[in-house]
Structure 1
Amino acid sequence: MATNYETNTRKSGGASIWKILLIVVAVLIALSIVGPLLKAVFWLGLIGLAVVGAATLYFNSKK
């Protein structure tokens, strides 16, 4: 009696490895886009605070 093997034997975790890899790549791409944007927003906010502080000191000293 011969043992029957399925011709379509795929591991159940085979597709999930590609899904995990896709998620990791998507997260890395998102971080590479969001990271510099957050850095730019931080520096713009810091420069804006410096301008507001300088203007406040300048106009309060005139009074």
Structure 2
Amino acid sequence: MTTPTQNGTTSQGLGFWKILGIIAVVLLALAIVGPLLKGLFWIAFVALAIYGGWVLLRSSKKNHNGNSY
């Protein structure tokens, strides 16, 4: 059972459009943010690999030469 609101439309119909609008906004946000996060993941992965290699190199130099940086 629906109850009319002040402008003559039903509250059930207004709720449908509100939910549909929220779903559309969420899908649009995911379409924009998803590829952005995917690209940032690979950039962060490569940066972490480079940093790890640099730490290993610095560690091995410290052990061989006996001096620390």
Per the normalisation by structure 2, the TM-score is: 0.64
Q: Provide the residue aligned with 1:5 in structure 2.
A: none
C-alpha displacement of 1:9: 5.3
Q: Which amino acid in the other structure matches residue 58 of structure 1? A: L
Q: Provide the residue aligned with 2:20 in structure 1.
A: 21
**Pairwise CA RMSD:** 1.9
Query: Could you say which structure has the greater relative contact order, defined with CA pairs below 8 angstroms and 6 or more residues apart?
Result: 2
Unaligned runs of 5+ in 1: 1-7
Q: Provide the residue aligned with 2:10 in structure 1.
A: 11
How many pairs are equivalent? 56
Q: Provide the residue aligned with 2:29 in structure 1.
A: 30
Question: Partners in 2 of 1:30 and 1:13 — Cα distance?
Answer: 26
Q: Which amino acid in the other structure matches residue 54 of structure 1? A: G
Identity %: 50
